[in-house]
C-alpha cells in the first residue's frame, strides 16, 4: 500500500522555521513508522534526521508525535494509523533538527528526584530480602525507558516547563515504594515543591502516551497521597 | 577542543557503566563517552536473566557453571577466564541487588532463578535453575540500575559523542604504543574533541548489524573492534558468531530463551517437537548453536512452516496465562505488536537471528587488551563486554552469560583501570591528532558523487546473512570474502547526502558502515581458514571438531590485501576436551 507521510522538518543550518514536507512511501500494513522513516532517509532524502536504536520499543530513542499522539516510531504500525501519517518532534522540548529534540532538561529533571536506591543499613552478605508483595508494589514503575513520551504529552508541562513532569515522578515512585529504600522522605520533600506533583491535573495524556503501558497517573496520585500523609 | 581525564570509558552499556562506577567511587577522574544516551544502550534489550550459582532454588555450584560454560563453548573457552566468570558471577549479582536491582523474588524473598539452555547441575546431569531474573526485562533493569548508581556516584557523561579514533603514544597500538585517549565527534554540532587519558576502556558492544536478520540495535556496528583493528591490534575468534534460535520471523527481534526455560517448546510444520531428534536429553534447552542448526535442518528438509516453509514455531500456550503474563510479559507483547500473533492462543513463528559476537578484542583476565599470541599487553588499553574476547564464550555462548560477562569484566575493568591510573603518568598528545579522522570525515561529507551508503550496507548485510550464517560451506565463505573485499573497495567512493554540521546521522551511518565492513572482513577470512566445525562455526566440508589443528584462537590482523591470520593456544585447566552431546 502507499502511505502519504508528512513530516515536520527543521534544519537550523538552512531553515528559518519548521515546515511540513510530504513523502509517498510503499509500505506493508505491519510496517512500523520507523520503517517508513528509514525508507525515506535511504531512498528519498538522506538529510531526514531522527534518533533510533533498538527498533523494538526497549531503548526509548524514537518517541515522536505521530498522528497527534506521542508514540515510539518503532512500535506503532501502519495498520494502526491508516494511509495518512503525520510525524512531528515531541512537543515542549527544543528541536535540534527534524525529529530530534534536546533531551538535557528532561534528564536533569529525572536526576533531580534522586533516582537511585538509598539504603541506610549496611549491606548484608547475601541479597536484601524482599517479599513478592513488596516487589510487586513498585513493579509498574520499573518499566520506564525514559523516552519522554509522557512528559512531552502533558499539558501541565507545556503550560509550565519548570514542572518536574510525569517521567521524573514515575522514577521517584519506583524508589519511594521500594521496601529496601530509606530516602522516600527526601524525595517526597522534593516533589512537594510547587513544580512537583501538584502540577498534575489528572489529564491522563501520559497514560495514553506511555509505550510501556505504565499507569502513570495512578503512580503520580500515589506519590501525591504520600506527600499529603507525610505532612499531616 | 581538548578535554583531559585520567580514565576514559567508551560505551555506556553494562560493562562501561560498571567500570565507570568503580572508577568514580575510587575518585578517578573519568569521562564516559557514548554515541547514544546511556539508557539507550543495548544491554537494556537483554531479556531472560543473568546466571549465578546462588543456589536459591536448588543446589548449585560455581564449578558447575564453569563446566557448562566450557562445554557450551565447545572447549574453545579459556578455562581460567570461565573460572573467573562463574566464581565472580555470585558476588556480582549480589552487589547488583544491593544497588537496587528489582529481581523477581522467591516466596522467602530471595532472588528468583529459572532454567536456561546449557546450564546444568553436576556437570551435565539435568537442567538447573541458575538464571536470576526480573521478568523478561533483566537487561533493562541492569542498565537502569547501573545508570542510577552512576548518577549517584557523580559519573561524568558525554552523551551523543561518537568516538571516531583512538590515540596512542610511542608507536601505534599494535606496535608497542600506549593508549593516550580518543577523538570523538560531538553529534549535536559536528565538532571533533580530543580526549586525553591514561586508561581507555572499549565497551562498545557487538556488530550484529552486519547481518540482515538480527536482534541487534541499529547502533551495533562494531566501532570499538574496528578502531583497534585499524591500529594494528588483532581481532580474536571473529568466525564465532551466535545465531539465536528464536528471532521473530522476518524481523529478527529476540524472543528470549526464557520462554523455553519456563517450558516453551519448538514445533515444526507437522507439530512435532523436533529437538528430540537433535538433543534428546536437553531438548529445547540445548545450547543455542545446536538449536539454531536444528531449525536450519528442519527448514532445509521441508518441515518448515508457513507459505515459504521457512520458519518454525515457538509454543508457550501450555504455560498458562499467569506464567506468560508474569514471567514473559515483554516477549508476549513483541509477538502481538510485531507479528499480530497472540501467544496465549497461537504458536509464534520464529527463525534464527544474528545475535552475539563471541569473538572481539583480545584481552587478558585483567581486561587489558593484548596484541599477539604471547598475550603482549597494550598498555593503558582495556576492553570488556561483547566487544571483548577474554575468552569466556569460546565457540558458542550460553544464554545469560553475556550479561555475566559484561558485569564481571566491566567491574574488573574499573578496578584495573583505577590501579593503572594511580601508577601511570599522563600521556602526551600531539596537537594535530584529529587530522586523520577529520580528513576522512570531510571526504565522506564533501565527495561530490558516489554511491549510497545505505544501499551498500544492505548489500553487506544480505551477503553476510546468506554466506556466513548458521551453516557454512567453502563456496559460501569464498563468496563472502570476495564480496566483502568488493564492498570495501566501493566504500571508498560512497557519498553522504547530508552535508550539514548539526546532528548529521547520514554521515555517522556512513562512518559506521566502514566499521561493519572491517568486522565482516575479519569474520569471513577467519571463518574460511578454520577447516573444522566447532560451536557456532559449522561447515559441511569439515563437519567434525579438529582438536589437533584447531584447539586454538584465531587472531586476525588487518592488512592491505586482506587480513593475515595467526593462532594462539586455548587455556585448559580443569576440563579436558570431550565430545559435546546434550
CATH of the domain at A202: 1.10.1060.10
H or E element that contains B68? helix B62-72
Nearest of B316, B407, B401 to residue B130 by alpha carbon? B401
Place of cell 530530534: A100
Q: How far is B216 from chain A (nearest CA, A)?
A: 7
Helix, coil or strand: residue B94:
helix
Amino acid B272: pLDDT: 97
B340 shares contact with chain A (CB less than 8 Å): yes
Mean pLDDT of A116-127: 96
Residue range B435-546, CATH number = 1.20.58.100
DSSP state of A42: I
Count chain A–chain B contacts defined by CB atoms under 8 A.
142
Same domain for A79 and A34? yes
CB-based contacts of B95, cutoff 8 Å, min separation 6: B411
Could you tell me if A137 and A206 lie in one domain?
yes
Note the pLDDT of residue B89. Answer: 98
Shared domain for A50 and A112, answered yes or no, is: no
pLDDT at B544: 97
Nearest chain A residue (CA) to B144: A145
Task: Determine the pLDDT at residue B449.
Answer: 86
Q: Looking at the structure, tell me whether residues A150 and A216 fall in a common domain.
A: yes
Judged by a CB distance cut-off of 8 A, whether residue A61 touches chain B is yes
Give the active site residue among B288, B495, B545, B580.
B288
E strands along B325-366, which residues? Answer: 348-357, 361-362
Query: Nearest to residue B254, comparing CAs of B267, B268, B243, B265?
Result: B243
Partner A contacted by B329 (CB < 8 A): no
Contact, B377 vs B368, CB < 8 A? yes
Same domain, A226 and A133: yes
Q: What is the DSSP letter of B360?
A: B
Which positions 152-181 of A are in contact with B (Cβ < 8 Å)?
A: 175, 178, 180-181
Geometric angle at alpha carbon B226, from B223 and B231, rounded to 5°: 130
Alpha-carbon gap, residue B427 to B448, rounded angstroms: 39
A residues 28-57 near B, CB within 8 Å? 30, 41-42, 45-47, 49-50, 52-57
**Of A101, A126, A153, which closes a domain?**
A101
Q: Using an 8 Å Cβ cutoff, are B251 and B259 in contact?
A: no
Exposed e or buried b per residue across A168-202, where buried means at least 16 C-beta atoms within 10 angstroms of its C-beta: bbbbbbbbbbbebbebbeebbebbbeebbbebbee
Given a cut of 80, whether residue A232 has pLDDT beyond it is no
Closest CA to B162 of B183, B138, B139, B140: B183
- In angstroms, the separation between the Cα of residue B233 and the nearest Cα of chain A is 28
- Choosing from A59, A79, A101, the residue where a domain stops is A101
Q: Show Cβ contacts of residue B271 under 8 Å, excluding neighbours closer than 6 positions.
A: none
Residue-wise pLDDT tens digits, A128-167: 999 999 999 999 999 999 999 999 999 999 999 999 999 9
User: Is B188 within 8 Å of A96 when comparing Cβ atoms?
Assistant: yes
Quote the pTM value: 0.97
pLDDT tens-digit map of A17-74: 999 999 999 999 999 999 999 999 999 999 999 999 999 999 999 999 999 999 999 9
A53 contacts in chain B (CB < 8 Å): 36, 40, 42, 217-219
Are A94 and A144 members of one domain? no
CB within 8 Å of chain A, chain B residues 299-328: none
Is A195 found in the same domain as A125? yes
Nearest CB neighbour to A131, from listed B105, B144, B334: B105
* Closest among B490, B559, B569, B571 to B525, alpha carbons compared: B559
Work out the percent of chain A whose per-residue pLDDT is above 90: 99
Question: Are residues A109 and A45 part of one domain?
Answer: no
Q: B246-352 with B435-546: one CATH topology? A: no
Q: In angstroms, rounded to a whole number, what is the distance separating the alpha carbons of residues A94 and A184?
A: 32
Nearest CB among B44, B98, B340 relative to A58 is that of B44
Establish if A221 touches chain B: CB-CB under 8 angstroms.
Answer: no
Q: Which residues contact A135 (CB under 8 A, 6 or more apart)?
A: B102, B103, B104, B105
> CATH for B246-352?
3.90.700.10
Residue B288 catalytic?
Answer: yes
Of chain B residues 344-383, which have a CB less than 8 A from chain A? none
In this structure, are A222 and A108 located in the same domain?
yes
Judging contacts by C-beta atoms under 8 Å, the chain B residues touching residue A50 are: 505
Rounded CA-CA distance B202/B182 in Å is 10
Instruction: Label each residue of B118-139 as H, E or C.
Output: EEEECCCCEEEEEEECCCCCHH
| Same domain membership, residue A123 and residue A223 | yes
Best to test chain A binding among B98, B112, B333 (most A CBs inside 10 Å): B98
Does B510 contact chain A (CB < 8 Å)? no
- The answer on A153 and A138 residing in a single domain is yes
With CA atoms as reference, the chain B residue closest to A128 would be B98
Q: Is A130 on the interface with B (CB under 8 A)?
A: yes
Overall number of domains in chain A = 2
In the block, residue with C-alpha cell 523516552: A147
| Boundary of a domain, candidates A63, A86, A101 | A101
Provide block-wise average pLDDT over 10 residues at a time, chain B (582 residues). 97 98 98 98 96 98 98 98 98 98 98 96 96 97 98 98 97 96 98 98 98 98 98 98 97 94 96 96 95 96 96 97 92 95 97 98 98 98 98 97 98 98 95 94 90 95 97 97 98 95 97 98 98 97 97 97 96 96 90
Give the separation between CA B395 and CA B413, rounded to whole angstroms.
Answer: 23
Q: Where are the domains of chain B?
A: 246-352, 435-546
Answer whether A135 sits within 8 Å of B40, measured CB to CB: no
Residue A74's CATH number: 3.10.20.30
Chain-chain contact of B40 with A107 (C-beta, under 8 angstroms): no
Full domain range(s) for residue A46: 2-101
Across the range A199-218, mean pLDDT stands at: 97
B278: CB partners within 8 A, 6+ apart:
B286, B290, B291, B293, B294, B297
> Which of B109, B217, B330 comes nearest A130 by C-beta?
B109
Closest A-chain CA to B102: A135
Query: Do A119 and A218 belong together in one domain?
Result: yes
pLDDT at B448: 85
Amino acid at each position: 500500500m502507499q502511505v502519504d507521510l508528512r513530516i515536520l522538518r527543521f534544519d537550523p543550518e538552512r531553515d528559518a522555521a519548521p515546515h511540513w514536507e510530504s513523502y509517498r512511501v510503499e509500505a506493508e500494513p505491519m510496517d512500523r513508522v520507523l520503517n517508513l522513516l528509514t525508507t525515506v532517509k535511504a531512498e528519498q532524502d538522506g538529510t531526514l534526521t531522527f534518533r533510533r536504536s533498538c527498533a523494538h520499543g526497549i531503548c526509548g530513542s524514537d518517541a515522536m508525535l505521530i498522528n497527534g499522539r506521542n508514540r515510539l516510531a518503532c512500535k506503532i504500525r501502519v495498520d494502526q494509523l491508516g494511509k495518512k501519517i503525520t510525524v512531528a518532534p515531541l512537543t515542549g522540548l527544543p528541536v535540534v533538527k527534524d525529529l530530534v529534540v534536546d533531551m538535557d532538561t528532561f534528564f536533569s529533571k529525572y536526576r533531580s528526584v534522586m533516582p537511585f536506591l538509598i539504603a541506610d543499613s549496611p549491606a548484608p552478605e547475601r541479597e536484601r530480602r524482599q517479599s513478592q508483595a513488596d516487589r510487586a508494589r513498585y513493579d509498574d514503575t520499573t518499566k520506564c525507558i525514559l523516552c519522554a513520551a509522557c512528559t512531552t504529552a502533558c499539558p501541565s508541562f507545556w503550560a509550565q516547563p519548570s514542572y518536574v513532569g510525569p517521567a521524573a515522578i514515575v522514577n521517584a515512585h519506583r524508589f519511594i515504594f521500594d521496601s529496601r529504600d530509606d530516602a522516600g522522605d527526601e524525595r517526597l520533600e522534593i516533589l512537594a515543591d510547587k513544580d512537583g506533583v501538584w502540577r498534575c491535573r489528572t489529564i491522563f495524556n501520559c497514560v495514553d502516551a506511555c509505550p510501556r503501558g505504565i499507569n502513570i497517573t495512578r503512580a503520580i496520585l500515589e506519590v501525591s497521597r504520600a506527600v499529603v500523609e507525610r505532612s499531616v | 577542543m581538548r578535554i583531559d581525564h585520567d580514565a576514559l570509558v567508551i560505551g555506556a552499556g553494562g560493562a562501561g557503566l560498571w567500570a565507570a562506577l568503580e572508577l568514580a567511587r575510587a575518585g578517578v577522574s573519568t569521562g564516559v563517552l557514548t554515541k547514544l544516551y546511556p539508557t539507550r544502550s543495548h544491554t537494556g534489550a537483554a531479556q531472560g536473566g543473568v546466571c549465578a550459582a546462588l543456589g536459591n532454588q536448588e543446589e548449585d555450584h560455581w564449578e558447575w557453571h564453569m563446566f557448562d560454560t566450557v562445554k557450551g563453548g565447545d572447549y574453545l573457552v579459556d578455562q581460567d577466564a570461565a573460572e573467573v566468570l562463574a566464581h565472580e558471577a555470585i558476588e556480582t549479582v549480589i552487589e547488583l541487588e544491593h544497588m537496587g536491582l528489582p529481581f523477581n523474588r522467591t516466596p522467602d524473598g530471595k532472588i528468583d532463578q529459572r532454567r536456561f539452555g546449557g546450564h546444568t547441575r553436576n556437570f551435565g546431569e539435568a537442567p538447573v535453575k541458575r538464571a536470576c531474573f526480573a521478568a523478561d526485562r533483566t537487561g533493562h533493569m541492569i542498565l537502569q540500575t547501573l545508570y542510577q548508581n552512576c548518577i549517584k556516584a557523580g559519573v561524568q557523561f558525554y552523551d551523543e559523542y561518537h568516538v571516531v579514533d583512538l590515540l596512542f603514544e610511542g608507536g601505534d597500538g599494535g606496535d608497542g604504543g600506549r593508549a593516550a585517549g580518543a577523538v570523538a565527534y560531538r553529534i549535536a554540532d559536528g565538532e571533533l574533541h580530543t580526549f586525553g587519558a591514561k586508561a581507555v576502556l572499549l565497551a562498545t558492544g557487538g556488530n550484529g548489524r552486519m547481518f540482515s536478520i538480527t536482534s541487534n540495535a541499529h547502533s551495533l556496528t562494531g566501532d570499538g573492534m574496528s578502531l583497534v583493528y585499524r591500529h594494528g591490534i588483532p581481532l580474536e575468534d571473529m568466525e564465532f558468531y551466535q545465531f539465536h534460535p528464536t528471532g521473530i520471523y522476518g524481523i529478527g527481534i529476540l524472543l528470549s530463551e526464557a520462554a523455553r526455560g519456563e517450558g516453551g517448546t519448538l514445533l515444526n510444520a507437522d507439530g512435532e517437537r523436533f529437538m528430540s531428534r537433535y538433543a534428546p536429553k536437553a531438548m529445547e534447552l540445548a545450547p543455542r548453536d545446536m538449536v539454531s542448526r536444528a531449525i536450519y535442518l528442519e527448514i532445509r528438509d521441508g518441515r518448515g512452516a508457513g507459505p515459504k516453509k521457512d520458519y518454525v514455531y515457538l509454543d508457550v500456550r501450555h504455560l498458562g496465562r499467569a506464567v506468560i503474563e508474569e514471567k514473559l510479559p515483554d516477549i508476549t507483547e513483541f509477538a502481538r505488536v510485531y507479528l499480530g500473533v497472540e501467544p496465549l492462543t497461537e504458536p509464534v513463528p520464529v527463525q534464527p537471528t544474528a545475535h552475539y559476537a563471541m569473538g572481539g578484542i583480545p584481552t587478558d583476565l585483567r581486561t587489558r587488551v593484548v596484541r599477539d599470541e604471547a598475550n603482549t599487553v597494550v598498555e593503558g588499553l582495556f576492553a570488556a563486554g561483547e566487544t571483548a574476547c577474554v575468552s569466556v564464550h569460546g565457540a558458542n555462548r550460553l544464554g545469560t552469560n553475556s550479561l555475566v560477562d559484561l558485569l564481571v569484566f566491566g567491574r574488573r575493568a574499573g578496578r584495573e583501570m583505577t590501579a593503572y591510573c594511580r601508577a601511570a603518568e599522563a600521556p602526551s598528545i600531539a596537537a594535530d591528532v584529529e587530522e586523520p579522522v577529520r580528513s576522512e570525515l570531510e571526504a565522506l561529507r564533501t565527495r561530490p558523487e558516489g554511491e549510497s551508503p545505505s544501499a551498500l550496507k544492505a548489500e553487506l548485510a544480505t551477503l553476510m546473512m546468506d554466506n556466513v550464517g548458521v551453516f557454512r560451506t567453502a563456496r559460501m565463505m569464498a563468496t563472502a570474502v570476495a564480496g566483502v573485499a568488493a564492498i570495501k573497495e566501493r566504500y571508498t567512493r560512497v557519498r553522504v547526502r547530508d552535508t550539514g554540521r548539526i546532528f548529521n546521522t547520514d554521515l555517522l551511518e556512513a562512518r559506521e558502515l566502514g566499521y561493519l565492513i572491517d568486522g565482516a572482513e575479519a569474520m569471513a577470512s577467519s571463518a574460511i581458514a578454520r577447516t573444522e566445525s566447532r560451536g557456532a562455526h559449522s561447515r559441511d566440508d569439515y563437519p567434525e571438531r579438529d582438536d589437533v589443528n584447531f584447539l586454538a584462537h584465531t587472531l586476525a590482523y588487518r592488512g592491505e590485501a586482506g587480513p593475515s591470520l595467526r593462532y594462539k593456544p586455548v587455556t585448559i585447566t580443569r576440563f579436558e576436551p570431550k565430545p559435546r552431546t546434550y
